[in-house]
Amino acid sequence: MSIVEVDDLRKQYDPPKGVLAVDDVSFSIEKGEIFSLLGPNGAGKSTTISMLSCLLRPSGGDARICDHSIGSDSQAVKESIGVVPQDIALYGDMSARENLHFWGVMYGLTGDELARRVDEVLELITLTERQKDRVDKFSGGMKRRVNIGAALLHKPQVLYLDEPTVGIDPQSRRAILDGILELREQGMTILYTTHYMAEAQELSDRIGIIDHGKLIALGTHEELVKLVGEKTEVHLGVDKHLHEVAETWRGIAGVGSADLEDEGMLASLLVDDANAVLPAIFLAAETAGVRITSLNVVEPNLETVFLHLTGRALRE
């Protein structure tokens, strides 16, 4: 049985005519898995997380977290989850340690266990030396780390992270992503929302693509790519007109199509496996006396998957 099971979850604000923010979303997450909800801003990611956090009451459907229903057993759900909100939600006039201590109490920790966990989390987020400093004096990245740490104190079975890397520097982002991978190694189940394709691709065991409240695709990265049958794009710039060479390229096994642009000076090829066909492409060009001046290989990615499924770019 999955640790998270979401079943036709629905949320409409101000029914009957209000916005349908989440429209019959269903998915499940296995224990120890990182599951990403990928979608543009306003897709319904945060609304979904809010319902799974028992902050918002669903308009329809249900979800079970660790076999507890979000509708009827919210207290038990909250004991099983840790939530890292999108915006920093800490007490600025309190130190890092004081913040963690307080949130630990809120999660039910007491006494020595609480103190120990605070130390451990401070170590995990590498802020042991700054533990007595007020949070409002921290950099954005440091605040994010405390923000995450506060959700880990009680060792939740499922961790929700709602776009945790928005607006921070690349180094801090890298540190957060590494930390998440480390948590997965420790067996934590993670529900991660993002609009960054690269993050979803790097972190996730499975990805759900959400748009306009609907889950439009679900699977591993490879499955999603294959789902839409995208090939690798190879873009070549040359010093001569390519019409004859293009015909030759079309005949190479593994090359689906070859289109010319810019009066024959640019070629775009769709291929099954770039590594396999590039030698043949280069040989054909050399034979035709055409010199290749630029090469760009674009692997199929979620951006293209999204574009294929919705007709829009992920980052519009």
Partner 1 sequence: MRRVLAIAWKDLRSIYRQPSALATMLAAPLGVALILGLAFGGQGSFQLQPVTTVVADLSAAPAGTDGADGADGADGADGADSAGAPDGVQRSSAVLVDVLTGKELDDLIDATRVKTAAAARRAVDDGEAAVAVIIPAGFDDAVSGTGGAQTQVEVYTDPTQQIGPAVVEGVVRQVVVEINGARAAATAAARLGTVATIGTAGDIETIKAAAEDAARRFVAGGGGEGVVIEARAPSLPGSAASNDPGITGIVLAGQLVLFTFFGASIAARTILVEQEEGTLARLFTTPTTRGSVLGGKFLLAYLTVLVQSIVILLVGWLAFQIDWGSFAPVAVLVLTGCAVACGLAMLIGAFSRTLAQEGAIGSGIFLVLALLGGNFTGSFASGGVASTVSRLVPNGWLLAAWDTAMRGGTVADIALNVLVALAFAAVFFVVAAVVLRRRFA
Give the footprint of partner 1 on this chain (CB under 8 A).
53-55, 57, 75, 78-79, 81, 83, 85, 87-94, 98, 102-103, 105-108, 110, 150
Looking at the Cβ atoms of 73 and 303, the one nearer to partner 1 is: 73
In the three-class reduction of DSSP (H, G, I as helix; E, B as strand; rest coil), residue 96 is classed as helix
What is the nearest approach in angstroms of partner 1 to the Cβ of residue 230?
38
- The answer to whether the CB of 216 falls within 8 A of the CB of 210 is yes
Looking at the Cβ atoms of 61 and 85, the one nearer to partner 1 is: 85
Looking at the Cβ atoms of 148 and 305, the one nearer to partner 1 is: 148
What is the nearest approach in angstroms of partner 1 to the Cβ of residue 125?
17
Distance of alpha carbon 62 from alpha carbon 44, whole angstroms? 16
Residue of 123, 193, 107, 112 lying closest to 155 (CA atoms) = 107
List the beta strands (DSSP E) in the chain: 4-12, 20-29, 34-38, 60-65, 68-69, 81-84, 158-162, 189-194, 206-211, 214-219, 232-238, 255-261, 266-271, 292-298
Distance of alpha carbon 57 from alpha carbon 51, whole angstroms? 6
Looking at the Cβ atoms of 150 and 234, the one nearer to partner 1 is: 150
What is the nearest approach in angstroms of partner 1 to the Cβ of residue 209?
25
Strand-strand pairing, 189-194 and 34-38? parallel
Looking at the Cβ atoms of 102 and 282, the one nearer to partner 1 is: 102
What is the nearest approach in angstroms of partner 1 to the Cβ of residue 71?
13
What is the nearest approach in angstroms of partner 1 to the Cβ of residue 82?
8
